[in-house]
Structure 1
């Protein structure tokens, strides 16, 4: 498996990806798991795949460590794979991690760690993602917020760190003005970095009572990676059979 993360100049991001993939290796002993990054640091996915091909690999799953399907999964990763010229290396591409119920469970785990008990009727939640120029990716976050409301929270609303509105501070302020007794922010980020720090600072300044840590190596995320890997294998076998 070649896992493809966004990449960051913040060294905490690569360390978090390494920890997460370590948890995946524990779940799948014997499965070679390689990290790669689209930006800001090595190794690049095509370099990893070239190395595997030179070592004689014939089959691998490329798995995006991305929380929504947007520009990186729709354009960047296919572009990288188009540069890989090894006819004996068969590539299977897994789906992005999100959306998936396991990510909602991981978000609630992280909120609990920040002091917001899951389903607390006196707590409103702001679900914050990075934001995207891809409207469908932003719509996915809004849908996840709607689907999360029935779990017992006072309310759940979406927000975005960039590209579109509302921002996290705006969303926190709106909930407090609407009468929410307490507002917690759920950080829909895989790894620490600029956006996660920006969201935390803005949300706390606006009056949020808690901001969750990034998803990182939450057990649910590691489980989901294994599931996406298995799904890619099954889908490839089904396509071959047809």
Structure 2
């Protein structure tokens, strides 16, 4: 019997993130129908990692493959969390995987989101209040004469937005991804700049301002995020706020990578690689 696959999410208070993460776990269960697949969060959402591990152990699984569902460097957080679970369950053993990172298939998915945003004539979405928290909703397309009807790729810049971290190596990795993305999928565009949602500069407004000063007529904001949720909405909200002060600049926002078969292919490959190391 193959060891279970445990997908580890960072966790979010946002229901959209939890829902999409849950759909992706279900997709993996369908793809790996002879393997137990479970998901757990490090914080902020249920099931927590400890609950998922306890459930697997109770079902007789004492070895598993742990895969962080993150595009950042989550190895330290996951290692610390799994060490705690091993203290709680002394018989538990686990194998890690290679990070998802800048896999060529993920870069291709980013290119798909870029293409979708370039073809969509809607502006960044304004905020409306739903319950106690701001949420985003779609609006009607901008009037046809508000922006130039045709903008060459050479006049269009891209801002790739990562989460941001206190770890310099993690932030440097986002810059590396931006360069790889520019050279492999966005070489026709004026530039691919790097920005971060929080913690470290430049933020989304800083990335947009650099593109404006370089002479871009259109800027497409591409979130380097796996799933929808609070972080994605913060990216959109920051882009919207900047755009309100620069109406001459056509700013468009792409979606996150999202639950899809291509992402599942990458995760399954990481799982199968880890299995090769299991004695």
TM (normalized to structure 2)? 0.77
1:11 to 1:192, Cα distance in 2 relative to 1, 3 A: same
1:1-242 equivalence runs, <5 A: 1-69=5-73, 72-74=74-76, 76-85=77-86, 86-115=89-118, 120-150=153-183, 151=185, 152=187, 153-207=189-243, 209-234=251-276, 236-237=277-278, 240=279
Conserved? CA contact 2:9–2:42, under 8 Å: yes
Distance 1:39 1:161 in 2: 19
In the TM superposition, structure 1's runs of 4+ consecutive aligned residues that sit over 4 Å from their partners are none
Consecutive unaligned residues in structure 2, runs of 5 or more:
121-151, 244-249
TM (normalized to structure 1)? 0.88
Query: How many pairs does the alignment contain?
Result: 233
CA displacement, residues 72-95 of structure 1 (integer Å, 9 cap, x when unaligned): 421x22222112243443311123
RMSD, aligned α-carbons: 2.0
Consecutive unaligned residues in structure 1, runs of 5 or more:
none
Give the structure with higher Rg (CA): 2
Show the counterpart of 2:130.
none
CA shift for structure 1 position 186: 0.5
Which structure is higher in helix share? 1
Between 1:54-63 and 1:125-134, the stretch displaced more is: 54-63
Distance 1:106 1:26 in 2: 21
CA displacement, residues 155-204 of structure 1 (integer Å, 9 cap, x when unaligned): 10110011111111111121122112311011111222332112112213
Conserved? CA contact 1:160–1:167, under 8 Å: yes
